[in-house]
Chains A and B, each alone.
Chain A
Amino acid sequence: QKEVEQNSGPLSVPEGAIASLNCTYSDRGSQSFFWYRQYSGKSPELIMSIYSNGDKEDGRFTAQLNKASQYVSLLIRDSQPSDSATYLCAVLYGQNFVFGPGTRLSVLP
């Protein structure tokens, strides 16, 4: 059983702080990793994908991948109230996506 785990939260951070979201996965053979954001009442939208060890930056978002430790994280710098949402980690196994349970982030003004 391929699993993806996340802390369900809620994770609360003050506006302007760095939000750190973590995800672990069970299968070392995984090659592709994704972060989705889901606002309440909306469908998930892709934020970032990462395939290689290390960091990948896109604006205020940085994805970090450590395959040896089987974790992937998402950092959100200068968090804004508009970042308040559920963040889903997804891992691609072959042609099957497995989603984590999501972490609910609340950015407090």
Chain B
Amino acid sequence: SAVISQKPSRDICQRGTSLTIQCQVDSQVTMMFWYRQQPGQSLTLIATANQGSEATYESGFVIDKFPISRPNLTFSTLTVSNMSPEDSSIYLCSVFDSGNTIYFGEGSWLTVV
């Protein structure tokens, strides 16, 4: 399985600021996904990050709030813009490997104050 590293692992952010989360994979993967998990909730897909094209966002998520970059097949970033306390969540990078299985990074725990 792919090894997925996320940074930062945890952060406390001020309201109105933006934070960029980095995701690095140890192998080339075609599809990378960004999920959000709010406290006590299940996983919600934010967007699919495709190399060489715009990210595909799910209903309720927009590029202005969650811009995503995917410069190559091993790296992606998610920015959470103009944060509010409602954005306090775990943000998870995941990849879809050649075995049709999805694996997750360690997650980035964001608290907005």
Interfacial chain B residues near A102, Cβ < 8 Å: 42
Q: With the chains together, A88 CA to B43 CA distance in Å?
A: 9
Decide yes or no whether B96 CB sits under 8 A from chain A.
yes
Q: Beyond A32-B100, A42-B106, A49-B101, list 14 extra A-B contacts (CB 8 Å).
A: A34-B102, A43-B107, A44-B43, A44-B92, A46-B1, A46-B101, A88-B42, A95-B31, A95-B96, A97-B96, A97-B102, A100-B42, A101-B41, A101-B42
Where the two chains meet, the residues of B that have a C-beta atom closer than 8 Å to any C-beta of A are: 1, 31, 33, 41-43, 45, 90, 92, 96, 100-107, 109
Interfacial chain A residues near B103, Cβ < 8 Å: 46
Interfacial chain A residues near B104, Cβ < 8 Å: 43-45
User: Which residue in A43, A49, A95 is a CB contact (below 8 Å) of B105?
Assistant: A43
Q: What's the count of A-B pairs with C-beta under 8 Å? A: 38
Decide yes or no whether A99 CB sits under 8 A from chain B.
yes
Interfacial chain B residues near A88, Cβ < 8 Å: 42-43
A99 in contact with B101 (CB, 8 Å):
no
Q: With the chains together, A1 CA to B52 CA distance in Å?
A: 28
15 contacts between A and B (CB under 8 A): A32-B100, A42-B107, A43-B92, A43-B104, A43-B105, A43-B107, A44-B43, A44-B104, A46-B102, A88-B42, A90-B102, A95-B31, A96-B45, A97-B45, A101-B41
Most buried by B among A42, A90, A92, A99: A99
Closest chain-A Cβ to B20's Cβ sits at a distance in Å of: 19
- Nearest to B99 among chain A residues (CB) is A49
Most buried by A among B90, B100, B105: B100
Q: With the chains together, A95 CA to B109 CA distance in Å?
A: 26
Closest chain-B Cβ to A77's Cβ sits at a distance in Å of: 24
